[in-house]
Amino acid sequence: MSEWALKRFWKDATAEPCEGGYAVKLDGRGVKTPAKTALVVPTMALAEAVAYEWQAQGEKVNPALMPFTRTSNSALDKVATQHAEVADMLAAYGDSDLLCYRADHPEELIVRQVAGWDPLLDWTEATYGVRLTHQTGVVHVPQAPEAVARLARDVHAQTAFQLAAFHDLVAMSGSLVIALAVTRGHVEPEAAWQLSRIDEVWQEEQWGADEEATAIAQRKRGEFLHAARYHALASA
């Protein structure tokens, strides 16, 4: 049996102001999410990005080519309905942040981690007034509760649309600090992605790149960069 696919039935996809934000419309009719929620986003820039994806579709709709639409659907159907729970889950990364677990050898890797990650911890202290502590090894050592709580307030303050993108920034990097640095404009997304992969890159240099692992990393990089772009448009 061939897989069912939505066929294009519209001529023009547009972004238009509406009550509560900006709607995406197909020949004047509003788009709805899979849960039948009106696809209304907070900024015109984001609505235009979603509308562009619909306009670019061919005879059959390919959801794989519609990342802004997918993230908007997630924001409305999933994040908005459980905002506090999602924010709590992401804020919890602050208690076990990637940047806080360091190698004890070899020296070259230690130096790379210090050079890449310490400035981010310095920025966190300057921005939020808390210092996350780092250690060697992978055994979990809790951060000070007040430090985690201070970072959590920033996460909870984000809208559902921002949080949907923030989820991928945290999940793809393994770091709440990296995600915060990107969304606050402290680090460019590509540089942030590379900082999240210091360990992996070093391993590749020692043992060679694995084709499957490289493909997975490239996919995650694309998702990370999309999330950064989505967050910026949702905040414009």
Domain membership flag for residue 219: yes
What is the spatial distance between Cα 184 and Cα 94, in angstroms, rounded to a whole number? 16
- 109-126 residue pLDDT tens: 999 999 999 999 999 999
Q: pTM of the entire structure? A: 0.95
Q: Are residues 45 and 134 in the same domain?
A: no
**Residue 72 belongs to some domain of the structure:** no
Residues 131 and 224 in one domain: yes
Distance CA 9, CA 108 (A): 58
Secondary structure (3-state) at 24? strand
Number of folded domains in the chain? 2
What pLDDT, on a 0 to 100 scale, did the predictor assign at position 1? 33
Q: Are residues 102 and 198 in the same domain?
A: yes
| 87 and 52 part of one domain | no
β-partners of residue 15 are 24
126: containing domain: 82-235
**Residue 148 binned pLDDT confidence (cut-offs 50, 70, 90):** very high
Q: Does one domain contain both 149 and 199?
A: yes
pLDDT at 70: 97
